[in-house]
Amino acid sequence: MCTLVALHRVHPAFPLVVAANRDEFTRRSASGPEVLVDAPRVVGGRDLAHHGTWLAVRHGGFFAGLTNQRTWSYPDASRASRGGLVVDAARLGSVDAVAAHLTALPPRVHNPFNLLFGDARELAVAYVRDEDPHVEVERLAPGLHVLTNDRMGSPWFPKARRAADLLDISAVAQMDLEGVFAALASVLADHAVPDAGPEPPAGSTMSAALARELQAVCVHTPGYGTVSATLLALSHEGVAAYRYAPGAPCTHAFEDRTELAGVGRR
What are the tens digits of pLDDT across the range 17-73?
999 999 999 999 999 999 999 989 999 999 998 889 999 999 999 999 999 998 877
Selection from 89, 91, 175 nearest residue 125 by Cα? 89
Residues in the chain, total: 266
Long-range contacts of 126-132 (CB under 8 A, 24+ apart): 126/98, 126/99, 126/102, 127/69, 127/151, 128/69, 128/102, 129/69
Q: Per-residue pLDDT averaged across 112-121, rounded?
A: 97
Q: Summarize pLDDT for 214-262 with one digit per residue, the tens.
A: 999 999 999 999 999 999 999 999 999 999 999 999 999 999 999 998 7
Q: What pLDDT is stored for residue 71 in this prediction? A: 81
Residue 263 confidence class, pLDDT cut points 50, 70, 90: low
Query: What is the distance, to the nearest Å, from the Cα of residue 39 to the centroid of all Cα atoms in its chain?
Result: 23
Q: What pLDDT is stored for residue 168 in this prediction? A: 97
Longest Cα separation, the chain: 53
Which residue(s) pair with 244 in the sheet? 230, 255
What is the C-alpha radius of gyration for the chain, rounded to an integer number of angstroms? 17
Q: Summarize pLDDT for 139-155 with one digit per residue, the tens.
A: 999 999 999 999 999 98
Task: Show the domains of the chain with their CATH numbers.
Answer: 3-261 (3.60.60.10)
Q: Summarize pLDDT for 85-106 with one digit per residue, the tens.
A: 999 999 999 999 999 999 999 9
Instruction: Give the Cα separation of 223 and 201 in Å (integer).
Output: 23
Instruction: Give the Cα separation of 219 and 250 in Å (integer).
Output: 10
Instruction: Give the Cα separation of 197 and 208 in Å (integer).
Output: 9
